[in-house]
Structure 1
């Protein structure tokens, strides 16, 4: 693998974090509501969780490269198609587009539970392992040493993810840019069957009752 390939893969990993997604939004929210010190646990949790997802996606690709290297071309095209769908999903995900609440709506305060929360979010769904496999398929070469490629790609991925997540934690506005604050000035307007009563009519009614 050339240095150009390494840089391209690193840029791809960084783009995965920069794209709007629930994981980096969670890291940014913890930093915004718990302070930037939360990066001590959120960044390692994100790197470890996505690292596990990366391994889960890389293992099948290595098997295909070893036993059926000719199939990697087709897998690469399927991976490109899935990556396009994933980008669209990132921008339309309700968890990403949800407005920011003024109150603290995060699930936990303790750092150990924050670590567990971020880690579980990374591994509880297969979508991250699938997208990582789709992206990694663009860089694997069956003709080269598979073990060396696996080691180099894993190291580059972990370093890129950790650096990008740290930037999101230290500057949470990067991940929360464009997100509107939750605001409901007239909550009664959205309720079906709402009947509005004039203030003077209510006051007159109370006066009659008092009389």
Structure 2
């Protein structure tokens, strides 16, 4: 793999990272509902999930998933139901409360991290993207494991950067809406965003 090929892949990764999808929606939801620390934890979880999904794709699991409608549906609904349940819980749990009470009800960084690991791993559309797109940047005459590792690290770091940008921007917006009479609606909005991310995942098709 030449430097120009790697650069083209890096540019494509930037574009992919900037396009909002269920992962970005989940990160924004965590940021609005629980703040910067939880949002950045969810970014870390998404990065780990992306790395696992991309690795599985490049060793051939993605091809099996792309060929199996049942496997695709199973993974799709695992990720979708997690986001929908968490979003509904956040929405209905929220009531008119003090800022301190809202802070206590915030989703923990650990929950956000583990949740987005699951979203990253179990989002089948992303796995299929990896298995169909990434191999085009691999030189058949070079070391496959080495090139696969370089592309995986490149993609995950770039997307982690764009995801962190979304997390910080949404966290900043949340801080502007931190008055007690507005915070409850911000938290409810975060639940709605998580539900929307789940619905988008459920709507994914091969």
Other-structure match for 2:37: 37
- Measured against aligned partners, the alpha-carbon deviations of 1:42-99 in whole angstroms (never above 9, x if no partner) come to 11101000111100111129x9xxxxxxxxxxxxxxxxxxxxxxxxxxxxxxxxxxxx
CA RMSD in angstroms comes to 3.2
* Contact kept? 1:30, 1:106, Cα under 8 Å: no
Say if 2:103 is the partner of 1:105: no
- Structure 1: gaps (5+ residues): 64-100, 174-181, 183-211
Distance across 2 between alignment mates of 1:135 and 1:106: 40
Report the CA distance shift for 1:40/1:106 in structure 2 as closer, same or farther (over 3 A): farther
Equivalent residue runs for 1:63-102 within 5 Å: none
Between 1 and 2, higher relative CO (CA 8 Å, sep ≥ 6) is seen in 2
Secondary structure, aligned partner of 2:91: coil
More helix by share: 2
Post-superposition Cα deviations, 1:127-172, rounded to whole Å, max 9, x if no partner, equal 2111112220221121222122122112212211211111111113
In structure 2, the residue matched to 1:157 is: 155
For residue 144 of structure 1, what is the aligned residue in structure 2?
142
In structure 2, the partner of 1:59 is 59
Residue equivalent to 2:47: 47
Q: Secondary structure at the match of 2:42?
A: helix
Residue 105 to residue 14, structure 1, CA distance change in 2 (3 Å): farther
Give the gaps of 5 or more residues in structure 2: 64-86, 94-105, 172-188, 190-206
- How many residues are matched? 138
In structure 2, do the counterparts of structure 1 residues 31 and 53 end up closer, same or farther at CA, with 3 Å as the change threshold?
Answer: same
CA distance in 1, matches of 2:52, 2:5: 22
2:4 is matched with which residue?
A: 4
CA distance in 2, matches of 1:122, 1:129: 9
User: What TM-score comes out, normalization by structure 2 length?
Assistant: 0.58
Q: 1:24 to 1:39 in 2, by over 3 A?
A: same
Offset of residue 5 of structure 1: 1.5
- Matches of 2:170 and 2:130, distance apart in 1: 24
TM-score (norm 1): 0.57
Equivalent-residue separation in structure 1 for 2:17 and 2:92 (angstroms) = 20
Other-structure match for 2:125: 127
Preserved contact between residue 36 and residue 169 of structure 1 (Cα < 8 Å): yes
Q: 1:49 to 1:106 in 2, by over 3 A?
A: farther
SS in 2 for 1:150: helix
